[in-house]
Chain A
């Protein structure tokens, strides 16, 4: 199967500081790949690089097409949905308005209601809170809203940055279950950044471990999960 996302020798810079030195990985169509590593390893930066939010060197290919230097909003229009760190919800807008923004780029307006129904199927709680101001939702609900909004974009690829952050374990489990369903039912490929390695390795098929801007380890998720040496040295458990 062709790789949907191919990253080769990626470098990334915040101003003069180089945050990524040499990151290479691949994401197969329909797969879930996770990027793991300690704080400051460069996981979030990698997602930002894929979205064109930071200055990059090296190669980023989406569906065979080079996207280095392309503006973020154009990359989004190519089918990439990013659920950022901190959710990125429009806190002053209602849940409905947040979701509607997700369909802003949707050419086919008749799809919008269909997509909304789809989203409510996955996240019934959002339907209950449709007119509520997004900033007043609980952490878990905001995370659901963020993923739902990404889903409204009908993306090929979803980037998720620490979806478990700050959420209670039961809520996290529910969200990860839904993510698995979305991947299987909607055929959305996912690139997942997570601090919670165990959770991520359960969901993903492939894993890459980053350390200070370099990929230090990679392999199928099942292998990484069972390798105690790797877990101890890189993942802290």
Chain B
């Protein structure tokens, strides 16, 4: 069957699995919560991947956009009593604008310089969030606590399960949109800008506009993830959004597989579950194990999990072909 149809089939299978998973007996609320986090990170990683993987613009600062989305959700729910689902579109718009505005001056920067600028942004945001002048909004160092929403219409599922399905719903929409975007002209333009930087303009691609818009869209996705994450975790505080978050996002994108949509899901699984595995291996220095993991991974699978799977599939196909 044609490539696209095969992709749709696979996507369908994944979605069905995702829907069934929390309903399997024995899957605790905590596990469902973890799965929700996987979805949240998948959205964030997709956002970063569009910018860094497909468009080649480095960001060491996406934690900042995640934080903005998270705080937008928290402030709306805590200070203005708005319902949780309304926070998502608002976080989206705010981050789209912020991302686009950041993308404009960032146009002049490339490679390491852009990495530094985004790194600076990531470091600045927690400091700014702690600042006294906006404390009444942000809750200062203590942050804001959010109340977990109840499932609507009295559905017979737990709060965690409802949040999971809500997040899944948003995730599916976002993934489909991204897939459409990247498949068509826009996707090709982004890749052209990444690979043939100077030539892209001569090919009639307005690279300045595309690059800024990509920043905006990327920030929007990560901001939505932040909002969903805040609702799931029920808490935001400046120290949840340190540079470590930005680094984690970048790691997730590369490990999952650059410039790939499924990579975002694998990356999210890695991000959520590896720290646990690492501390299982070594209580004393779990991050050292994590670090060793990263190095070995990059050596063995430089194209990420998704790239590795594709190579495996190609290997199997060629074996079958010659058999």
Any A–B CB pair closer than 8 Å = no
